[in-house]
């Protein structure tokens, strides 16, 4: 088949697979948002049928033949072209999917399905010994998968690549190490500061209906279009996308705390703006119609959540609005006190409740643990001790029980080794992108103070969103900021922001 025809057929197949994936995403959204409990068993059958069909279509040798017919042709000679990017990424996924033996995939799916329940019980009972044999199995499976994928350097490279294509452990570890050292130092200064923000300001009754209204108002101001989306409630908030024109966000409301839904909504709207900014009308269903990586995705949500949503300029505009809406709780509160309250830093055991500073330390710790587990340097039985030692070192806290320590996250029971680092990569990318946006948009602060976030959204769309997966994360970062990923922009941002709040 001629390269052009092969490419067209490849794209047709890929779009069909993605359309089935979108169907699955609708079922998953419904599962999380609407489904009555009775529907769970049947829903599992529906999604596993679709997953099986998608997998079958994707590992069809026809896909491999089509790829071979295009690769090395003139059509992909320009490696920055859309065609080249699509072929590169389809090949990447095809090779990974087809390299895994069917028996291994089945064992992995079966083991992680069982392990999830075992983990939940072990965590509830704070009994690591119960979870340990499952961790042994899953680490073994993850190692076998890494071997099947193949890798340079260490096996963790093969796993992290599933979430952050092209990222290497060596590079990530280097940046993380610098971040960790500076963050521990920053945290020490914050802990010794005499400034103690009054968090009770945001921990008092906030009417849920009003929280929803306020969240929607902010999402709209960010440029989130409710004609092409919805905001619903979910226990574990997420953003999902069913193709062009339908990108939905979720949040959860705490009637006695403002932060959860407020910053949760901004975070998810950040993810959604990325999806909405990709040119899906043209590229839906192909890699160029998808996000560059989980790290880049997280950079969008975290930039909006923290660098915009927890900034002074943002609240210069929205604090008076919030005071009007939540009169009973915010009447008479000073701007600086509110700003400090939403930016309180306090080391704590649970990652998902962590503040902006300590969140990254949680990730660094997990990254180091995972990497060592994959290398066999930390044995499953030694996980609690290793965890607790690192935790003491980075946070200054003694872990009292494993349920709030090494068993707190679902990821390991689900076999998601290599996923955690994307959370911190997101923060680091976010700071580097945001520093560039501030250079390119000199009046950005003034705009935010006027409640105008659309110039930033346009900057992100132009520089990041619209490219989809055309460039891998590393290259995208160099294109946008003129430099490789560095810990500096984030640490500059953190030191400046928290130095001002905590006065050091």
The answer to whether 334 contacts a second copy (rule: CB under 8 A) is no
The answer to whether 34 contacts a second copy (rule: CB under 8 A) is yes
When binding is defined by CB under 8 A, the residue of 2, 5, 12, 42 that contacts a second copy is 42
The answer to whether 97 contacts a second copy (rule: CB under 8 A) is no
Binding mask 227-266 for a second copy (x = CB under 8 A): xxxx-----------xxxxx-x------------------
Give the separation between CA 102 and CA 108, rounded to whole angstroms.
Answer: 10
When binding is defined by CB under 8 A, the residue of 8, 9, 43, 98 that contacts a second copy is 43
- 418 with 145: CB under 8 angstroms? no
Q: Which is nearer to a second copy, 1 or 27 (CB)?
A: 27
- For a second copy, how many residues bind (rule: CB under 8 A)? 37
The answer to whether 377 contacts a second copy (rule: CB under 8 A) is no
Q: Which two tokens stand for residue 99?
A: 């390299």
Q: CB under 8 Å to 113, separation ≥6 — which residues?
A: none
Q: Which is nearer to a second copy, 62 or 439 (CB)?
A: 62
Strand pairing report for 231-233 and 247-251: parallel
Q: Which is nearer to a second copy, 289 or 489 (CB)?
A: 289
Burial of 190 (0-12, 13-18, 19+ CB in 10 A): buried
The answer to whether 32 contacts a second copy (rule: CB under 8 A) is no
Binding mask 279-318 for a second copy (x = CB under 8 A): -----x----------------------------------
Where b means 16+ CB within 10 Å and e means fewer, 295-330 reads bbbbbbbbbbbbbbbbbbbbbbbbbeebbebbeebb
Q: Which is nearer to a second copy, 42 or 410 (CB)?
A: 42
| Catalytic center residues | 268
Q: Which is nearer to a second copy, 272 or 378 (CB)?
A: 272
Q: Which is nearer to a second copy, 222 or 448 (CB)?
A: 222
The answer to whether 397 contacts a second copy (rule: CB under 8 A) is no
When binding is defined by CB under 8 A, the residue of 37, 61, 332, 482 that contacts a second copy is 37
When binding is defined by CB under 8 A, the residue of 1, 4, 8, 19 that contacts a second copy is 19
The answer to whether 40 contacts a second copy (rule: CB under 8 A) is yes
Where b means 16+ CB within 10 Å and e means fewer, 207-240 reads eeeebbebbebbbebbbbeeeebebeebeebebb
How far is the CA of 94 from the CAs of 56, 58, 68, 216, in angstroms?
11, 7, 12, 39
| Range in contact with a second copy (rule: CB under 8 A) among 29-37, 150-158, 425-433, 483-491 | 29-37
Among 243, 303, 317, 221, which Cα is nearest to 29's?
Answer: 243
The answer to whether 35 contacts a second copy (rule: CB under 8 A) is yes
Give the separation between CA 6 and CA 314, rounded to whole angstroms.
Answer: 50
The answer to whether 449 contacts a second copy (rule: CB under 8 A) is no
Helix 383-395 vs helix 128-149: angle between axes, to the nearest 10 degrees?
90
What one-character DSSP code corresponds to residue 471?
S
CA 188 to chain centre: 27
């Amino acid at each position: 088949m001629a390269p052009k025809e092969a490419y067209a057929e490849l794209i047709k197949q890929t779009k069909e697979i993605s359309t089935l994936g979108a169907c699955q995403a609708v079922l998953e959204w419904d599962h999380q948002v609407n489904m009555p409990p009775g529907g769970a068993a049947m829903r599992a059958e529906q999604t596993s049928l679709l997953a099986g069909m998608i997998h079958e279509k994707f590992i069809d040798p026809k896909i491999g033949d089509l790829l071979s017919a295009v690769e090395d042709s003139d059509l992909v000679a320009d490696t920055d072209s859309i065609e080249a990017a699509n072929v590169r990424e389809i090949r990447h996924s095809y090779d990974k999917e087809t390299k895994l033996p069917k028996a291994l995939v089945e064992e992995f799916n079966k083991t992680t399905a069982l392990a999830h329940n075992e983990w939940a019980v072990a965590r509830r009972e704070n009994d690591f010994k119960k979870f340990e044999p499952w961790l042994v199995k899953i680490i073994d499976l993850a190692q076998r998968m890494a071997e099947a994928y193949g890798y340079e350097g260490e096996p963790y490279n093969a796993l992290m690549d599933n979430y952050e294509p092209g990222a290497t452990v060596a590079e990530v570890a280097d940046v993380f190490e610098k971040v960790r050292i500076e963050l521990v130092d920053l945290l020490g200064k914050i802990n010794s500061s005499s400034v103690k923000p009054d968090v009770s300001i945001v921990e008092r009754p906030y009417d849920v209906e009003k929280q929803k209204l306020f969240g929607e108002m902010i999402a709209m101001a960010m440029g989130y279009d409710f004609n092409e989306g919805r905001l619903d409630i979910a226990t574990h908030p997420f953003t999902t996308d069913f193709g062009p024109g339908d990108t939905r966000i979720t949040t959860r409301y705490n009637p006695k705390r403002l932060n959860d839904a407020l910053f949760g909504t901004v975070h998810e709207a950040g993810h959604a703006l990325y999806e909405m900014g990709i040119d899906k009308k043209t590229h839906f269903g192909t890699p160029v119609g998808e996000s560059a990586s989980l790290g880049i995705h997280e950079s969008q949500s975290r930039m909006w959540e923290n660098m915009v949503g927890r900034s002074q300029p943002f609240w210069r505009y929205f604090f008076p609005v919030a005071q009007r809406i939540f009169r009973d709780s915010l009447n008479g509160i000073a701007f600086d006190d509110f700003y400090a309250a939403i930016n309180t830093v306090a080391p704590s055991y649970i990652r998902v409740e962590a503040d902006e500073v300590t969140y990254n330390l949680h990730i660094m710790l997990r990254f180091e643990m995972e990497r060592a587990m994959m290398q066999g340097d930390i044995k499953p039985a030694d996980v609690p001790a290793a965890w607790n030692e690192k935790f003491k070192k980075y946070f200054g806290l003694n872990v009292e029980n494993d349920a709030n320590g090494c068993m707190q996250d679902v990821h390991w029971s689900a076999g998601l080794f290599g996923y955690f680092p994307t959370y911190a990569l997101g923060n680091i990318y976010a700071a580097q992108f945001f520093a560039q946006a501030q250079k390119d948009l000199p009046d950005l602060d003034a705009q935010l103070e006027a409640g105008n976030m659309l110039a930033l959204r346009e900057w992100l769309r132009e520089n990041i969103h619209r490219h989809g997966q055309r460039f891998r994360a590393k290259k995208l970062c160099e294109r946008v900021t003129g430099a490789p990923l560095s810990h500096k922009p984030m640490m500059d941002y953190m030191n400046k922001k928290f130095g001002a709040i905590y006065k050091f």
